[in-house]
Amino acid sequence: MKQFIYGLLLFVFLTLPPVATLLESIMIIHMHLQMPLLIFSGFLMARFFKVRFPAFFYKWNRNGIPGILLFSIILVYWMIPRTMDEALTVYASEIFKFISLPFLAGIPLRDSWRKLGSVSKNIVFLIFIILFILMGWLFIGVDDQICNNYLRVDQITLGWGYVTLAACMIIYIVQLIFGDQSEFE
């Protein structure tokens, strides 16, 4: 229950107009800080929903695959530059962002991650590493302004953000593969 309250507080904090405006004023902070924090708030709140509706999660997300698919779809959706642009200009889209990321990505991620086997986890990592590298390449390389609301330099910054995140994920995977994880249990 404590986790739910922390998650809810984080969610409420992120929805405060000055906070949202500040975080959305810089492209990379919008995508790589506000959005992950929204997912994290859902991740924390998930505990309450899992305790309250165990049958629902058992019925719809028994092996974790549907949950991780939903998480991936929501994440990929918000990685499309146009959706980020719309969140700033179309009010309904902004509301959808604040609902979809915590509740349709954060909660399923929490429920699915422990249910997934190591192979599925590695596939998820691999997909997102490839996706992040591609997005990085796109944002750094493209000569046009992709988003109406952000400058080209913001785009390049976001591109490098993707590349560094992908690099961190690769290092994480490498140390998982070459290190003996059983020694930490």
Partner 1 sequence: MKELSALSLQQKTIKALGVNTKDAKISLSYLSVAFATLLIGGILGLVQGLQRAGLLELPPWLNYYQVLTAHGILLLLVFSTTFTIGYQYANLSHSLGGLLPKVRKLAWSGFSLMIIGVILVVTMIVLNEASVLYTFYPPLAAHPIFYVGLVFVVLGILACCFGVFINYRHWRKTHPGQTTPLLAFFAMGVFVLWFFASIGVTIEVLTLIPWSMGIVETTNVMVDRTLFWWFGHTLVNIWYLVATSAWYVIVPKIIGGRHFNEKLIRLVVILLVILNIPGGFHHQIIDPAISESIKFLHVFMSLSIAVPSLMTAFAMFAVFERAGRKKGGKGLLGWITKLPWGDVRFLAPMIAMISFIPGGAGGIVNTSNQMNQVIHNTMWVVGHFHVTVGMSVVMTFFGICYWLIPYLTKRKLTPQMNRLGVIQTIIWTVGMILMAGSQHLVGLLGDPRRTSFTTYGDHPRALSWIPYEYVMGIGASLLLLGVIIQVYAVINMMFFAPKGETTFPVAEPEDNALPAPMWTERWGLWSVLLLMVVAMAYVVPIVDMIVNAPPGSPPIKTW
Q: 170 vs 95, 124, 140, CA distance in Å?
A: 33, 12, 20
Provide, rounded to whole angstroms, the least separation between the CB of residue 14 and partner 1.
15
Say how far apart CA 6 and CA 12 lie, in whole Å.
10
Comparing C-alpha atoms, which of 32, 12, 3, 35 is closest to residue 110?
3
Which residues, in sequence order, are CB contacts of 23 under 8 Å at separation 6+?
14, 29, 30, 33, 34
Nearer to partner 1, 1 or 153 (CB): 153
**Closer residue to partner 1 (CB): 92 or 180:** 180
Question: Which residues form the interface with partner 1 (CB under 8 A)?
Answer: 22, 25-26, 28-29, 32-33, 153, 156-157, 160-161, 164-165, 167-168, 171-172, 175-176, 179, 183-185
d(CA 58, CA 48): 15
Report, in Å, the least distance between residue 164 CB and partner 1. 4
> How far apart are CB 154 and partner 1 at their closest, in Å?
9
* Residue 4 beta carbon to partner 1: minimum distance, rounded to whole angstroms: 23
Q: For residues 51 and 126, which CB has a smaller minimum distance to partner 1 in the complex?
A: 126
